[in-house]
Amino acid sequence: MRIAEVLSRLRAGGAKPAQLQRLLRQWLHAKDSPGGPSAPEHSLSKSLRAEWATLLPELRALVQLRSQHPAQDGAVRLLLGLRDGQTAEAVLLPKDGLCVSTQVGCAVGCVFCMTGRDGLIRQIGSAEIAAQVALARSLRPVKRVVFMGMGEPAHNLDMVTEAIELLGTAGGIGHKNLVFSTVGDLRVFERLPLLAVKPALALSLHSSQAARRAELLPRAPRITPDELVELGQAYARASGYPIQYQWTLIAGLNDGPDEVEGIARLLRGKYAMMNLIPYNRVDDLPWQRPSADRAAAMCAALNRQGILTRLRQSAGQDVEGGCGQLRARQAQGSTRPVRMPPTNHPLTTRTERP
Ligand code: SF4
């Protein structure tokens, strides 16, 4: 379902702008959950009350909780059921964050990602994206939403931007706390600057070398790292927020001095932050996680070069560590939390995908 349809049904039921916002807030803040304040229904006309009585249960049913998988760092991976029987993942993050999915499957096919293995299965509607937030808020507060779960938001741009505009208004999320994450697509750089609610932008870089990046992200648009950083700079100026560059750190592949030099060349003097995210090993995929020392050394080398760099961990990495793993496990008939060996990294407070 689209948010546009929700709005048009409420308007057809006679909702005035203030009532519309109040009803949307009731949905998005889970205010009919036990203990929450109820909607001021006495102020609604009979026809609007009747429409809302039908619509709210439909909105609540868009996304349902199939299972929860708590991790040691305070994150909770959620397996969500959609109305057509498909499943998607979301992650409750430490410090009131939520990572949402924008597609079931993904067409980009990053070689290190489970979600990309089966290609795109279907788009997630804008109301289904917002419903992930409403559902998460019935579990705990959500003040930050990152679009880094399953899917490439740029490939579902109408739905994702519709959800962003709702979450940044009736959803009560600060605009810089909405984080649009993409491998880079020209349509993103055209559309985001025009939005009334401008999200922060995260760009998945993974290599400073065009050929290596094309191998890692085989179906991403052919934008070179240099072009991507230039486009990112323009958006940083338009939004006022630094660009967060994402770098899945894979042993022997993109953790060497050549990439340190490449990143420094690309990002020196830019309004940007580099997030190095050591790869979480996935069965059946050949990639390895670099040692903690090597990852820390790369982070230190970049900071010495003047590039603001942080070493991050995927939240909830001890339960089905990368996006798509929980769903893949469910497709095999089991959603039991599978514990991975603890790493010697301290777990940090937010998630980035792989
Ligand atoms: S990492 Fe993201 S963009 Fe790449 S295949 Fe997985 S979901 Fe798609």
Residue 277 identity (one-letter amino acid): I
Query: Which residue's CA lies nearest to atom 4 of ligand 1?
Result: 110
User: Which pLDDT value is given to residue 352?
Assistant: 37
Q: Are strands 309-311 and 272-278 parallel, antiparallel or unpaired?
A: parallel
Residues 55 and 150 in one domain: no
Amino acid at 295: A
Q: Among 103, 183, 247, which residue has the most ligand 1 atoms within 8 Å of its CB, making it the best to mutate?
A: 183
Structure-token match 């491998």, residue found: 183
Amino acid letter, 190:
E
pLDDT at 177: 97
Rounded to the nearest whole angstrom, what is the distance from the C-alpha of residue 15 to the centroid of ligand 1? Answer: 39
Residue 343 lies in a domain: no
Lowest mean pLDDT among 117-121, 125-129, 200-204, 264-268: 117-121
Question: Does any domain span residue 235?
Answer: yes
Cβ of 113 less than 6 Å from ligand 1: yes
Please indicate, yes or no, whether residues 56 and 71 belong to a single structural domain of this protein: no
152 Cα nearest atom in ligand 1: 3
Q: How far apart are CA 319 and CA 339, in angstroms?
A: 6
**Nearest partner of 316 among 87, 149, 147, 139, judged by Cα:** 149
How far away, in angstroms, is 254 Cα from ligand 1 center? 17
Establish if 337 belongs to a structural domain.
no
Which one is predicted more confidently, 43 or 257? 257
Find how far residue 61's CA is from the centre of its chain: 21
pTM for this model (two decimals): 0.89
The secondary structure element, H or E, covering residue 27 is helix 17-28
Tell me whether residue 51 is one of the annotated catalytic residues.
Answer: no
**Does a structural domain hold residue 225?**
yes
* C-alpha dist (Å) from residue 208 to 250, 256, 257, 313: 14, 11, 11, 21
Q: What is the mean pLDDT of residues 39-43?
A: 63
Number of domains in the chain: 2
Q: How confident is the model at residue 349 (pLDDT cuts 50, 70, 90)?
A: very low
Residue 341 lies in a domain: no
Domain of residue 239: give its range. 64-331
Check whether 66 has a pLDDT greater than 60: yes
Dist. CA 182 → ligand 1 center (Å) = 9
Confidence category of residue 322, pLDDT binned at 50, 70, 90: low
223 lines ligand 1 (CB under 6 A): no
Q: What is the pLDDT of residue 316?
A: 59
Confidence of residue 42 (pLDDT cuts 50, 70, 90): low
Q: For a substitution probing ligand 1, which of 152, 156, 250 has the most ligand atoms within 8 Å of its CB?
A: 152
Q: Phi then psi for 82, rounded to 5 degrees?
A: -100, 165
The pLDDT value given to residue 283: 79
Q: Is residue 346 part of a domain?
A: no
* pLDDT score for 320: 47
323 as an active site residue: the answer is: yes
Indicate if ligand 1 lies below 6 Å from the C-beta of 120.
no
* Pocket of ligand 1 contains residue 220 by CB under 6 Å: no
The yes-or-no verdict on residue 341 having pLDDT over 70 is: no
Q: Is the pLDDT of residue 267 over 70?
A: yes
**The pLDDT of residue 115:** 82
Mean pLDDT value across the chain: 88
pLDDT in tens, 276-313: 999 988 877 889 999 999 999 999 999 999 999 999 87
Q: Is 325 in the pocket of ligand 1 (CB under 6 A)?
A: no
140: pLDDT strictly greater than 80: yes
28 burial class (0-12, 13-18, 19+ CB within 10 angstroms)?
buried
- For ligand 1, say whether the CB of 152 is within 6 Å of any of its atoms: yes
Contacts of 219 (CB under 8 A, 6+ apart): 107, 108, 109
Confidence (pLDDT) at 116: 79
- Find, among 141, 209, 130, the residue nearest to 170 by Cα: 130
Which entry of 89, 165, 259, 352 is annotated as an active-site residue? 89
56 CB-near residues (< 8 Å, 6+ apart): 26, 27, 32
Q: Is 328 in the pocket of ligand 1 (CB under 6 A)?
A: no
The per-residue pLDDT for 353 is 40
Same domain, 137 and 198: yes
Q: Is the CB of 151 under 6 A from ligand 1?
A: yes
Q: What is the DSSP string of 127-178?
A: HHHHHHHHHHHTTS---EEEE-SSS-GGGGHHHHHHHHHHHTTTT---GGGE
Nearest CA to ligand 1 atom 1: 354
Of 37-41, 124-128, 162-166, 295-299, the range with the lowest mean pLDDT is 37-41
> Is residue 34 domain-shared with residue 77, that is, in the same domain?
no
From the CA of 220, give the closest atom in ligand 1: 3
The CATH number given to whatever domain includes residue 227 is 3.20.20.70
In this prediction, residue 344 carries a pLDDT of 21
Residue ending a domain, choose from 28, 61, 94? 61
Minimum-distance ligand 1 atom for the alpha carbon of 217: 4
Q: What is the mean pLDDT of residues 239-266?
A: 97
Residues 118 and 16 in one domain: no
Quick one: 9 and 128 in the same domain? no
Selected catalytic residue, list 113, 165, 323, 352: 323
* Ligand 1 in reach of 277 Cβ (< 6 A): no
Within this chain, do residues 53 and 102 fall inside the same structural domain, yes or no? no
Same domain for 45 and 181, yes or no, is no
Do residues 25 and 78 both lie within one domain? no
User: Sorting pLDDT into bands at 50, 70 and 90, what band is 113?
Assistant: confident
Residues 41 and 180 in one domain: no
Instruction: Tell me if 338 is assigned to some domain.
Output: no
Give dist(CA 338, CA 38) in Å, integer.
39
Same domain, 23 and 137: no
Which band of pLDDT confidence, cut at 50, 70 and 90, is reported for residue 6? very high
Q: What is the pLDDT of residue 327?
A: 65
CA of 106 to the centre of ligand 1 (A): 6
| Residue 20 scores a pLDDT above 50 | yes
Tokens of 138: 């019935």
